């Protein structure tokens, strides 16, 4: 969150960020609440000081025999107490409102972020892996058709068991997902990441700490009851990303300078109520309600965050380089920058199986597999995460960064389509073969069950 002082001293900067990010917040009301709160705090200090002075005179007046004056002082002290209670009660109300409104303010984009209205104005920084593309079939079969033909993806049974937006990965499909997770963890472990296996349910305080709440409750799965505008800090939700529990590991803690930078990686299943809105987004595993992902979370000193941000991007890219998958890097413009982010890159892998009119010259489409984000001290303020240079020094807010390393289902899509052969089999990328027991080609499985007999 933004500090009160920053908002108070930079209202036009905040107003510009609201416009750039398309967030509707009554900033004038927030500033008015802050002004009234500060006036009441000052009035409360004055009343408290006067009451202390009056109380100290009461004993002196009684000792000197000035009973009438002492009684007047007692009555004045009672009046001051009543007024102070009234002032403090109102100040508490305003402070609670001020905190709620501050939570609704988005992070300020860094000056280097391109200005733009929406995703159409994101800036492509570079492409990688297109100089030496492998030979593809004349017609690349989309992953959802190929996965069913090979009996490695099962959408009908996923829907039967859990509803739309869920799927079974079977046989080599399941092995491929497991292999990717372990491969990604090994890559990032080489890069100095510490492994964390987080709890899957997270409480509302954790969701608020990383900025998912209060804005985005509609996308989260609440474990008990329906999603609602009102929730308690201890209400539990299925995590939408491992960013939430891993960042909140250090909520309300003070770290030491010698602990930083902290680099954590975490595999988790992730749960989101989003689903494809149209077209082939509703088919296959590009947008599903449950998906596997490896997340990288960094805690750094403020002066190190820009350099670490670029390093984090490179660490996420390394997975795609080793898998030899073509991809591109996009820098998000202000209008497509998330609520919590000061700056963000998206890594998009190329999947040639669907012609979505947004792919490169070779056709196909781009699939986001990682968002690499610098949050500055925005999450740290919400979650109360600070650090000290030395034990005896005051604590400051650190910076948090994260990036997916990577989202597994979309990498599966890219592999099934980019590594597809003319005969409908799929080559396993060399880097993954040790993780699949030496399997080099996915050539499918026999169907199981009476339904496999068709009309016979």
Residue positions annotated with a catalytic role: 272, 287, 368, 371, 410
Q: Which two tokens stand for residue 38?
A: 């500060």
**Residues 150 and 412 sit within 8 Å (Cβ to Cβ):** no
**Residues 171 and 152 sit within 8 Å (Cβ to Cβ):** yes
DSSP letters spanning 238-305: E-S-THHHHHHTTTT-EEEGGGPSEEEEEEEEEE------SGGGGSTTSS-SEEEEEEEEEEE-GGGH
Minimal CA–CA distance to 176: which of 437, 396, 399, 453?
437
**Residues 406 and 319 sit within 8 Å (Cβ to Cβ):** yes
Beta bridge partners of 201: 238
Beta bridge partners of 346: 330, 371
Q: How far apart are CA 176 and CA 181, in angstroms?
A: 9
Token match 């795609």: residue? 320
**Residues 150 and 175 sit within 8 Å (Cβ to Cβ):** no
Q: Which two tokens stand for residue 409?
A: 């289902």
Q: How far is CA 27 from the centre of its chain?
A: 24
């Amino acid at each position: 969150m933004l500090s009160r002082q920053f908002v108070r001293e930079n209202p036009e900067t905040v107003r510009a960020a609201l416009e750039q990010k398309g967030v509707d917040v009554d900033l004038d009301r927030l500033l008015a609440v802050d002004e009234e709160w500060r006036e009441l705090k000052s009035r409360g200090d004055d009343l408290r000081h006067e009451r202390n002075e009056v109380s100290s005179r009461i004993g002196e007046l009684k000792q000197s025999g000035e009973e009438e004056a002492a009684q007047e002082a007692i009555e004045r002290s009672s009046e001051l107490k009543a007024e102070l209670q009234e002032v403090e009660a109102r100040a508490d109300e305003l402070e609670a409102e001020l905190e709620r409104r501050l939570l609704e303010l988005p992070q300020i984009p860094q000056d280097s972020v391109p200005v733009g209205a929406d995703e159409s104005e994101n800036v492509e920084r570079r492409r990688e892996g297109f100089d030496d593309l492998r030979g593809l079939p004349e017609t690349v079969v989309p992953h959802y058709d190929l996965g069913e033909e090979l009996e490695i993806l099962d959408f009908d049974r996923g829907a039967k068991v859990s509803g739309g937006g869920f799927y079974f990965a079977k046989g080599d499909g399941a092995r491929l997902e497991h292999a990717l997770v372990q491969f990604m963890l090994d890559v990032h472990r080489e890069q100095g990441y510490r492994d964390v296996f987080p709890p899957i349910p997270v409480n509302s305080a954790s969701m608020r700490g990383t900025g998912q709440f209060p804005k985005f409750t509609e996308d989260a799965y609440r474990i008990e009851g329906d999603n609602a505008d009102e929730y308690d800090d201890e209400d539990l939700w299925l995590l939408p990303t491992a960013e939430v529990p891993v960042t909140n590991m250090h909520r309300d803690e003070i770290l030491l300078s010698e602990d930083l930078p902290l680099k954590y990686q975490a595999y988790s299943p992730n749960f989101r109520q989003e689903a494809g809105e149209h077209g082939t987004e509703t088919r296959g595993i590009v947008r599903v309600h449950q998906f596997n992902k490896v997340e990288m979370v960094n805690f750094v000193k403020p002066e190190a965050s820009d350099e670490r941000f670029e390093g984090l991007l490179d660490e996420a890219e390394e997975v795609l380089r080793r898998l030899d998958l073509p991809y591109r890097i996009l820098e998000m413009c202000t209008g497509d920058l998330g609520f919590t982010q000061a700056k963000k890159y998206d890594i998009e892998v190329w999947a040639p199986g669907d012609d979505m009119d947004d792919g490169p010259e070779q056709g196909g489409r781009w699939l986001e597999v990682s968002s690499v984000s610098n949050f500055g001290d925005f999450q740290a303020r919400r979650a109360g995460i600070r650090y000290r240079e030395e034990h005896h020094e005051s604590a400051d807010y650190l910076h948090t960064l994260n990036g997916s390393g990577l989202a597994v289902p979309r990498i599966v899509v890219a592999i099934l389509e980019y590594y597809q052969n003319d005969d409908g089999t799929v080559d396993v990328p060399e880097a993954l073969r040790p993780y699949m027991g030496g399997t080099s080609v996915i050539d499918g499985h026999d169907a199981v069950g009476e339904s496999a007999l068709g009309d016979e």
